[in-house]
A and B are shown apart, each in its own frame.
Chain A
């Protein structure tokens, strides 16, 4: 290996041949890509094209049928995620990774306050000082533009947009380097979506977050994603820089997507 290669940026996540079958049905097949630190990669495609399946494999929530997934850990450098013990994998998901679900109710603990939701990951990694946990929760609520006086309110009293921001705050509190998002703006009104997208764009930049962002909304990826994967029937049919793919689509399926769903 040359010096240049060794000192060049390492991918944070290296995905090769990622495939998931549900019996005879294909969830996703032969997906290859590298994700670099601070990079946002958008995954687009129509309903049933395999976006969620791919995301669940990448975030180790679903065991792939084939393929390899290598993550560049802080402590040990690149490791094959599926060779880690379950304990290590679950720990990764609670610390260095984040997972934002489309339905915030699935990603939040609805029975406890906003502050407890944000503080949970800290406590999971051993934080035992109430004042500090609360202080950190306040900071992340502010980052996500949630008023400080809502810290003791339950998420059920929040609007959909606020719940989604709370879910994001809850994930960011451990300063993850990689966040998986499945339709994060999915259930929201257009104006609420726009605000959340602005916020996400700023945070991703400020925190140097790498993201895998699944959406069927080309407007969302136009705003957030550096690169795009276009999926059809489980396969990636086209990938490249977002603007290139959207402005000059090469694959007929992408051309159809771009022309049928008007970007912003």
Chain B
């Protein structure tokens, strides 16, 4: 294979490292929501670029895969483009922007609007995996809290939001309980995306490079966003619809459109938006989609 000739193994990581990561992934799948430590490797990019997700993808990817990479919902940001190019080069895979064509979707900050299906894998990049970290800085203690299911204090932060703001202010990385057992950070996706975690037919894998943790939601796992009986979990809603494609059901970003400070709401998921526009016969969706 020509990658070997270029001086590195297929998909960049050596086979032993991939096996180690796969073992961590298998364990994570076996214990949904549980953070499995793994020996995170240096990758040819900085940590903030999602090295945890990149390593998970590298351990899974094969020549027949079709890879989609998004950042904040967009396929065309620097980060997404670099990771896509990286795998196109080191793993010789086809890439796509179309969610339904992808076998692996690596993402930061969003879950695609197009519903995922069985057989697909979503790889999420995680900066901070530990949901109890704000409460308890000691790793040994948080591990014990997970082991003993001592999660009451998590509701303290939600209580505090309600007392202070009259509503739960947390809008992203909103904590969830997995299969009624493990408390989990879904990574900094908007809480809008939390319902997509629940009983997803796709496998979801979470990789934290700097903190060296992998965790997983196997297909059809029950995922519940924390809330109170009298203040149930709610997702964001918008008065507006997407200015470009008219979608009412997608996560919208507010973007500045001119020097006069004019604003409009558009889909954060560029693939979803572009293809809705194309279906409506609008011209040149590639030029209209995406964020500033």
Q: Is B164 an interface residue (CB 8 A)?
A: yes
| Contact A123:B155 (CB < 8 A) given known A90-B150, A130-B231, A131-B230 | yes
In the bound complex, what is the Cα–Cα distance between A151 and B160 (angstroms)?
A: 11
B215 → chain A closest CB, angstroms:
22
In the bound complex, what is the Cα–Cα distance between A115 and B160 (angstroms)?
A: 8
Chain B residues, Cβ within 8 Å of A151: 163
A170 → chain B closest CB, angstroms:
11
In the bound complex, what is the Cα–Cα distance between A123 and B150 (angstroms)?
A: 10
Q: Is A248 an interface residue (CB 8 A)?
A: no
B154 → chain A closest CB, angstroms:
8
In the bound complex, what is the Cα–Cα distance between A130 and B160 (angstroms)?
A: 10
Q: Is A139 an interface residue (CB 8 A)?
A: no
A158 → chain B closest CB, angstroms:
16
Contact B159 A133 (CB under 8 A): yes
| Contact A115:B159 (CB < 8 A) given known A123-B153, A124-B153 | yes
Residues 73-92 of chain A, each 1 if its beta carbon lies under 8 Å from chain B, else 0: 00000000000001100100
Q: Is B262 an interface residue (CB 8 A)?
A: no
Nearest B residue to A124 via CB reads B152
In the bound complex, what is the Cα–Cα distance between A126 and B228 (angstroms)?
A: 11
| Contact A152:B163 (CB < 8 A) given known A90-B148, A131-B230 | yes
Q: Is the interface of B mostly helix, strand, loop or mixed?
A: helix
Nearest A residue to B159 via CB reads A116
B147 → chain A closest CB, angstroms:
8
Residues of chain A at interface, number, CB under 8 A: 23
Q: A88-131: which residues lie under 8 A (CB-CB) from chain B?
A: 90, 109, 112-113, 115-116, 119-121, 123-126, 128-131
Cβ contact of B164, chosen from A113, A129, A130, cutoff 8 A: A113
Q: Is B229 an interface residue (CB 8 A)?
A: yes
Contact A120 B156 (CB under 8 A): yes
Contact A123 B164 (CB under 8 A): no
| Contact A120:B153 (CB < 8 A) given known A90-B148, A152-B164 | yes
Q: Is B162 an interface residue (CB 8 A)?
A: yes
Nearest A residue to B151 via CB reads A124
In the bound complex, what is the Cα–Cα distance between A182 and B223 (angstroms)?
A: 43
Nearest B residue to A119 via CB reads B159
Q: B211-266: which residues lie under 8 A (CB-CB) from chain A?
A: 227-231
Chain A residues, Cβ within 8 Å of B147: 87
A173 → chain B closest CB, angstroms:
12
Chain A residues, Cβ within 8 Å of B164: 113, 152
A115 → chain B closest CB, angstroms:
6
Contact B152 A125 (CB under 8 A): yes
Contact A130 B159 (CB under 8 A): yes
B167 → chain A closest CB, angstroms:
11
Residues 135-174 of chain B, each 1 if its beta carbon lies under 8 Å from chain A, else 0: 0000000001001101011011101101110000000000
Cβ contact of A121, chosen from B144, B148, B152, B163, cutoff 8 A: B152
A243 → chain B closest CB, angstroms:
42
Chain A residues, Cβ within 8 Å of B228: 128-130, 133
Contact A123 B156 (CB under 8 A): yes
In the bound complex, what is the Cα–Cα distance between A226 and B103 (angstroms)?
A: 73
Contact A87 B163 (CB under 8 A): no
In the bound complex, what is the Cα–Cα distance between A147 and B210 (angstroms)?
A: 46
Nearest A residue to B147 via CB reads A87
In the bound complex, what is the Cα–Cα distance between A128 and B155 (angstroms)?
A: 8
> Contact residues of B with A, CB < 8 Å?
144, 147-148, 150, 152-153, 155-157, 159-160, 162-164, 227-231
**Which 9 A-B pairs give the minimum distances between C-beta atoms?**
A124-B152, A123-B155, A130-B228, A123-B152, A87-B148, A129-B229, A112-B160, A116-B160, A116-B159
> Contact residues of A with B, CB < 8 Å?
86-87, 90, 109, 112-113, 115-116, 119-121, 123-126, 128-131, 133-134, 151-152
Jot down 23 A-B pairs with beta carbons below 8 A, ordered by A: A86-B148, A87-B148, A90-B148, A90-B150, A109-B156, A112-B160, A113-B163, A113-B164, A115-B159, A115-B163, A116-B160, A119-B156, A120-B152, A123-B155, A123-B159, A124-B150, A124-B152, A124-B153, A128-B155, A129-B230, A130-B230, A151-B163, A152-B164
